[in-house]
Amino acid sequence: MPSIPDSHRDLLDGMVATLATIGSNGYPQMSELWFLAEGDTIRLSLNSSRQKTKNLMKRPACGLLLLDLANPHRYLELRGNAQIEPDPDYAFADRVAAKYGTDLRTMDQPGESRVVVTLSPTRVRAWG
């Protein structure tokens, strides 16, 4: 697994990332979302009813872009395959929520569930 260069590791502390998935029509779908970085692994808490989650379940190939908001010519692109696990008790969702000062339970409708998406990069591209 390629590692994230020290020169761009600060971007892992950012607040928003762009996730690119492949839709059923073959076109990319991009979503801004919250994330947690653990070493060189990025983890997401996603609602299982959302299109991005459905896309990942069918095609786990994805990309994640972390943009330096102070210098948009500097970014970190991660590509890899998503691994999806259920998060029935919101254990991981609570960790993400703590970073952002919210409760993800309030964003889900009755009967909806959460999954943990882990992206272990197979390609890392640092720019700027």
- Residue 39's domain comprises 6-127
Q: How far apart are CA 71 and CA 8, in angstroms?
A: 12
For residue 67, give every residue at least 6 positions away whose Cβ sits within 8 Å of its Cβ, in sequence order, or none.
11, 14, 18, 74, 75
Whether residue 1 lies inside any domain: the answer is: no
Is the sign of the CA dihedral 8, 76, 64, 18 positive or negative? positive
Cα–Cα nearest to 52, from 76, 77, 17? 17
The residue whose two tokens read 């590509």 is: 79
List the CATH number of the domain containing 74: 2.30.110.10
Whether residue 43 lies inside any domain: the answer is: yes
pLDDT tens column, 25-51: 999 999 999 999 988 899 999 999 999
Q: How far apart are CA 92 and CA 89, in angstroms?
A: 8
pLDDT for position 120 = 85
How many domains is the chain partitioned into structurally?
Answer: 1
Q: How far apart are CA 121 and CA 69, in angstroms?
A: 22
- Cα 124 to chain centroid, rounded: 14
Whether residue 68 lies inside any domain: the answer is: yes
Whether residue 53 lies inside any domain: the answer is: yes
Whether residue 28 lies inside any domain: the answer is: yes
pLDDT tens column, 42-83: 999 999 999 999 999 999 999 999 999 999 999 999 999 999
Whether residue 45 lies inside any domain: the answer is: yes
Whether residue 59 lies inside any domain: the answer is: yes
Structural tokens at position 40: 């060189």
Whether residue 123 lies inside any domain: the answer is: yes
pTM of the model: 0.94
